[in-house]
Structure 1
Amino acid sequence: MTALRILRGIEFARPRNAEPLLLDLYLPGAAAAGAHQGGRPAVIHLHGGGWRTGERSSLGPAVDGFGFSPIEQLADAGFVVASADYRLTDVATFPAQLLDAKAAVRWLRAHAADYGVDPDRIYAWGDSAGGHLACLLGLTAGFPAFEVHDGAGKGIGSHGADAHVAAVAAWYPPTDLTRMGQQARPDAVARADDPGSRESLLIGAQPADAPDKARAASPVAYVHPDAPPFLLIHGTADRFVPAAQSAGLAEALEAAGNAVELLLLEDADHMWTTPDGGSSAAEQATAATIDFFRRQAEQH
């Protein structure tokens, strides 16, 4: 039996006029479940931070502070996990972030044999802004607007690998930037239509003033009947991203005939903070995510 290995700081892309992008690769121990002849299932993880902050291998200060590492738990369950950087909004606006996420998928698929990964069982998972990108990964495969251009999105040594993912799990993701501001709770800490909001920095304009740009960056705009299975998890007391964002995407996916699971955690705020200060919501979300990916891996 060998323990979990973590390979940190692997370069996977070099966008033009930006620093190289890195990922951390979590490799399960030899005795972990999940492997078969085609290799282990794998998950691309994308961090949160409002597209303007955050870093790979983090799920935000609150979740990190609970000390039980959902990423390592997923690896211990038998999944290779690649937690990847992407360009933040002080460097580039949308769709740069999505192109970088696609580059990470392409890199992992192209190097699947090197790390014992099954290229047909690559999934996406993200929290908050990373959940937004994970949703877009699941919904925009093959969309010409988000294919490789100007060197972005290609990935180092990807050799023509594609960027589709076979399932998506997203924690409290923004999914509809055109409605996000009006859906904000009365006690919201941040609203998408506030001047200088995270969403305005993402698209380079206030969402209310640029509905076409807001829609172009919204996962709900790309729902189609052949989407992969989705798991959306959101706290009902989220003061940053309204729970209606997950509920609306779930409704759209279901209406299009797709498999979608929506889990709403009562009284949980962003990053799974709760009135009692405990970690129960984060633990529930982590367990549901691992269970979801395990079920997807067992079906293929």
Structure 2
Amino acid sequence: MTRRTFEYAAVPGFRPLLLDLHRGDAPGLAPLVVFVHGGGWRVGSRESFGPMFADTSPSPFERLAAAGFAVTSVDYRLTGEAPFPAQLDDVSAAFAWLRDHATELGLDTGRIVVWGESAGGHLAALAGLREQGVVAVVDWYGPADLTALDTDLAEAGLVAEPAPGSTEAREALLLRDVAPAEASPVTYVHSGAPPFLLLHGKSDRFVPCAQSRRLAEALTAAGADVDLRLFDGAGHMWLGNPGLAATAFDLSLEFARTHCFGGHVA
């Protein structure tokens, strides 16, 4: 497997935006997984698949490459650098760069799976609903309806930290002057949406699983395909259920294979 790093965008006044591309040695055009990291939109980097995979070997990127995918993981501007929609704009810029360089890099940009966890799941869902060539979306416990996030926390008996309405709340730092609906994947669901796999722990104290339910309901109402899996005893990042990270990855890999290769491949 090879790993190469590229600068996909240079936004004046900001750090260079980088992506890593992992791929195996198989000839021909490879379907593409675009991975978007989490971190509450405030922290994180393209090098992380999430803390639950920090010490795994082979890494998730290596496993995806071994399964026949080209895998790219993208950095994007964090909320300390710029508010929404900068994060989504950066992910879209990465898509554009990958399309422009698809031939030289051996990428099949007509078979793209966009995959993200937490804040990255939110951005992956948004990108999957607007980008061309996306054949599937994998969203792990991402916020889906920012207009209802505080309500869902309250109904689950949880309190946002910092408190709802605080200018330091993660949504406030993301949105600044943007209306919550404008940054919510549920707003952009349409009948032509690609298939979605939504995985969420029922004990998530940061993004209640009601958020994934809301997105699943919107996709179903639009006539799109969605597979919602809710897991008992699992919190955010699969905390409380140590074996679930591996299960979630295996389910997601098989979902990606099905929609890129038409079924299981070795």
1:102 pairs, out of 89, 92, 109, with: 92
2:142 pairs, out of 165, 173, 176, with: 173
- Are residues 1:296 and 2:259 paired? yes
Equivalent position SS for 2:150: coil
Cα distance change, pair 52–22 in 1 and its aligned pair in 2 (3 A): same
Equivalent position SS for 1:176: coil
Q: What is the percentage of aligned positions where both structures have the same residue?
A: 47
Q: Which residue of 2 aligns with 1:199?
A: 171
| Contact 2:138-2:198 within 8 A present in 1 as well | yes
How far the C-alpha of 1:20 sits from its partner, in A, is: 1.0
| Contact 1:177-1:192 within 8 A present in 2 as well | no
Equivalent position SS for 1:166: strand
| Contact 1:74-1:290 within 8 A present in 2 as well | yes
Q: Which residue of 2 aligns with 1:43?
A: 33
Listed one character per residue, the Cα deviations across residues 2-50 of structure 1 (whole Å, up to 9, x for unaligned) are xx1111x3100112321110011111233xxxx7x6x111111110001
| Contact 2:109-2:133 within 8 A present in 1 as well | no
Aligned ranges 1:270-285 → 2 under 5 Å: 270-274=236-240, 278=242, 280-285=243-248
Letter in 1 for 2:218: A
Identify unmatched segments of 5+ residues in structure 2: none
2:161 pairs, out of 175, 178, 190, with: 190
Q: What TM-score does the superposition give when structure 1 sets the normalisation length?
A: 0.81
Listed one character per residue, the Cα deviations across residues 254-293 of structure 1 (whole Å, up to 9, x for unaligned) are 1100011111121111111115xx2x11011100110001
Identify unmatched segments of 5+ residues in structure 1: 142-162, 206-211
Q: Which residue of 1 aligns with 2:207?
A: 241
* Runs of 4+ more than 3 Å apart: 65-68, 187-192
Q: What TM-score does the superposition give when structure 2 sets the normalisation length?
A: 0.91
Cα distance change, pair 92–260 in 1 and its aligned pair in 2 (3 A): same
| Contact 1:132-1:170 within 8 A present in 2 as well | yes
- Are residues 1:54 and 2:44 paired? yes
| Contact 1:41-1:117 within 8 A present in 2 as well | yes
Listed one character per residue, the Cα deviations across residues 44-86 of structure 1 (whole Å, up to 9, x for unaligned) are 1110001110010212323324555222221221110000000
1:71 pairs, out of 36, 61, 66, with: 61
Number of residue-to-residue matches in the alignment: 260
| Contact 1:223-1:252 within 8 A present in 2 as well | yes
Equivalent position SS for 2:139: strand
Q: Which residue of 2 aligns with 1:134?
A: 124
Cα distance change, pair 189–179 in 1 and its aligned pair in 2 (3 A): closer
2:217 pairs, out of 233, 251, 254, with: 251
RMSD: 1.9
Cα distance change, pair 188–67 in 1 and its aligned pair in 2 (3 A): farther
Return 59-68 or 179-188, whichever deviates more: 59-68
Equivalent position SS for 2:244: helix
Q: Distance in 2 between matches of 1:192 and 1:137?
A: 29
- Are residues 1:19 and 2:9 paired? no
| Contact 1:63-1:271 within 8 A present in 2 as well | no
Q: Which residue of 2 aligns with 1:218?
A: 184
| Contact 1:181-1:191 within 8 A present in 2 as well | no
